[in-house]
Amino acid sequence: MQIRELSIPDSYEITPTQFPDDRGVFFEWYRFDRLAETIGHPLALAQGNSSVSKRGVVRGIHFADVPPSQAKYVTANRGAVLDFVIDIRVGSPTFGEWDSVLLDDVDRRAIYIAEGLGHCFVALTDDATVSYLVTSTFNAEREHGIDPTDPDVGLVFPEAAGDLLLSPKDTAAPGLHEAAASGLLPTWAAARAYYDSLNAKD
């Protein structure tokens, strides 16, 4: 398993080692110890989610209040998605920037997204099946969104996605700077303090 930090601090691409034979393939898609060595603490997993999306579906940009927010470990079990991590932590040196990882059933990569970061993906195939391990259970009152088509964020959706399909909730979400001005976004200081508190427990 190889773990590579992305250009957004506190997010990582995980590439498993696959072991194919005449029966199929075996690989470890999540190792709590390897991830803990990288981020400084083990994940206290609280919920597992799955979504199935047709080509062109965009889910996000989603985030939750810090603390505790919700760290995510995401992979694609079937098909392909382009997964985005967006730095929405006000005061971060990379605020407003993003990076992406192709998650598919070929290389079988995963992405880790720390608390306080924004998350979004676009499905590149029909029946794109994504699984998420998360550190907090869903709480609608603490969950928020940013318009994934906001030009101030500037996500680049590949042509392979075709026509984009967003939920009414995501379409109606505020832009990045509107969300910041309203006090909706987490701060870099609050996120760092929360990461430090998690690391101190171990």
Active site residue 132: yes
**Residue from 30, 41, 132, 177 carrying the catalytic annotation:** 132
Q: Is 104 left (phi over 0), alpha (psi -120 to 50) or beta?
A: beta
pLDDT at 201 over 80: no
- Domains in the chain, start-ordered, CATH in brackets? 2-200 (2.60.120.10)
pTM: 0.95
- Asked if residues 33 and 144 have their Cβ atoms less than 8 Å apart, the reply is no
Instruction: Please give the Cα distance from 65 to 25 (Å, whole number).
Output: 39
Residue 112 is among the residues annotated as catalytic for this protein: no
Chain segment 127-186, per-residue pLDDT in tens: 999 999 999 999 999 999 999 999 999 999 999 999 999 999 999 999 999 999 999 999
Are 88 and 186 contacting, i.e. CB atoms less than 8 angstroms apart? yes
Cα dihedral across residues 124, 14, 27, 31: positive or negative? negative
Decide if pLDDT at 200 tops 90.
Answer: no
What pLDDT, on a 0 to 100 scale, did the predictor assign at position 147? Answer: 98
Spot the catalytic one: 12, 30, 41, 62. Answer: 62
